[in-house]
């Protein structure tokens, strides 16, 4: 989940400044603030190391790894400075997070006090939240683009970094993406704000766009190249851009009109793409709880290109 600032702009900005300032002061006063660098990016970590059974080192490694994964996908990390505040809760695992960019990039993430290194290694939450930092704020009506991109990018970026298997990502998409298809009463992505349409409908938009860009460019470009151009030109979540500008910027970078055309089709109409047909063309076949990948399928080269590190 991400927020670049709630709709009540002035009040939200003031509250964010106070919240961040108090948090930083309290963290420093308690000796709970530390810093790491990822490339040329400074990451400030606010963490009570003693609150976690495994201490703070595994958590710092998790933050560094997640930032490196996102930097690899986008060509560089979306922002020059980031604060990550880690909140301890009962239990284990990663419980959730929120990302902000008003006024500075900031992520709050909640961890169980008994979180294990294995759980941190397989976590998707922090990569998802960091991916939010790369897209301008396009407004609540287009939350599907923000959440859909973060959902889609998380899987691809982790495969490219060697943190997740390609089969695992495709298997999850085969299970979950049909939930993003329109149901009775749907009015398109811009006007249907259910959880499934926001997250998996948005991710479906990204997959369709990625495949089409690869096909049109003969695998010279993909959605990844469009997103790199968008964050380079906008600066990411701190910017307020209309969705049309975001999509136009991405299309110009890859030499197609894929994003604009797809948005025109899906924004206010309940379009139902043939996902099963797309899986077959990509060479993704369901097999028990996983998938089998076929390199003889018509679009197997596109499937491989999407997941190949660039």
User: Taking all residues of the chain, what is their mean pLDDT, rounded to a whole number?
Assistant: 92
Instruction: Give the whole-angstrom CA distance, residue 98 versus residue 109.
Output: 7
Residue holding tokens 């609150």?
51
Average pLDDT over residues 106-112: 98
List Cα–Cα distances, 266 to 72, 187, 190, 254, 260, in angstroms: 30, 9, 8, 21, 10
pLDDT value for 71: 98
Please, which residues have CB within 8 angstroms of residue 79's CB and are 6 or more apart in sequence? Answer: 41, 101, 105, 133, 235, 236, 238
Q: pLDDT confidence of 102, banded at 50, 70, 90? A: confident
pLDDT in tens, 247-270: 999 999 999 999 999 999 999 999
* pLDDT (0 to 100) of residue 242: 98
Share of the chain above pLDDT 90, in %: 85
pLDDT tens-digit map of 179-225: 999 999 999 999 999 999 999 999 999 999 999 999 999 999 999 99
Q: What is the pLDDT, as a whole number, of residue 24?
A: 43
Share of the chain above pLDDT 70, in %: 90
Residue whose entry in the numeric block shows the structure tokens 């420093």: 28
Residue 72 pLDDT > 80, yes or no? yes
Per-domain boundaries in the chain: 9-132, 140-307
DSSP strands (E only) in 229-283: none
**pLDDT surpassing 70 at residue 37:** yes
pLDDT tens column, 119-171: 999 999 999 999 999 999 999 999 999 999 999 999 999 999 999 999 999 99
């Amino acid at each position: 989940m991400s927020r670049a600032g709630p709709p009540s702009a002035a009040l939200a900005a003031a509250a964010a400044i106070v919240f961040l300032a108090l948090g930083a002061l309290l963290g420093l006063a308690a000796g709970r603030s530390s810093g790491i660098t990822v490339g040329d990016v400074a990451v400030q970590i606010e963490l009570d190391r003693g609150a976690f059974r495994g201490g703070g080192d595994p958590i710092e490694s998790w933050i560094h790894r997640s930032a490196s994964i996102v930097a690899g996908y986008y060509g560089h990390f979306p922002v020059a400075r980031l604060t990550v505040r880690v909140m301890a809760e009962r239990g284990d695992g990663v419980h959730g997070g929120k990302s902000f960019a008003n006024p500075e990039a900031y992520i709050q993430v909640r961890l169980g006090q008994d979180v294990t290194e294995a759980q941190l290694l397989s976590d998707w939450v922090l990569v998802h939240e960091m991916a939010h930092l790369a897209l301008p704020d396009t407004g609540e009506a287009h939350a599907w683009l923000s959440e859909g991109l973060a959902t889609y990018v998380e899987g691809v970026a982790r495969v490219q970094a060697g943190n997740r298997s390609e089969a695992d990502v495709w298997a999850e998409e085969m299970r979950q993406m049909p939930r993003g298809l329109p149901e009775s009463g749907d009015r398109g992505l811009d006007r249907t704000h259910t959880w499934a349409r926001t997250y998996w409908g948005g991710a479906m938009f990204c997959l369709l766009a990625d495949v089409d860009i690869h096909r049109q460019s003969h695998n010279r470009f993909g959605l990844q190249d469009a997103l790199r151009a968008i964050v380079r030109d906008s600066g990411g979540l701190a910017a307020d851009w209309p969705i049309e500008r975001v999509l136009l910027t991405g299309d110009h970078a890859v030499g197609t009109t894929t994003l604009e055309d797809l948005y025109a089709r899906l924004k206010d109409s309940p379009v139902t793409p043939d996902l099963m047909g797309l899986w077959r063309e990509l060479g993704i076949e369901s097999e028990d709880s996983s998938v089998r990948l076929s390199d003889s399928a018509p679009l197997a080269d596109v499937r491989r290109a999407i997941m190949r590190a660039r």
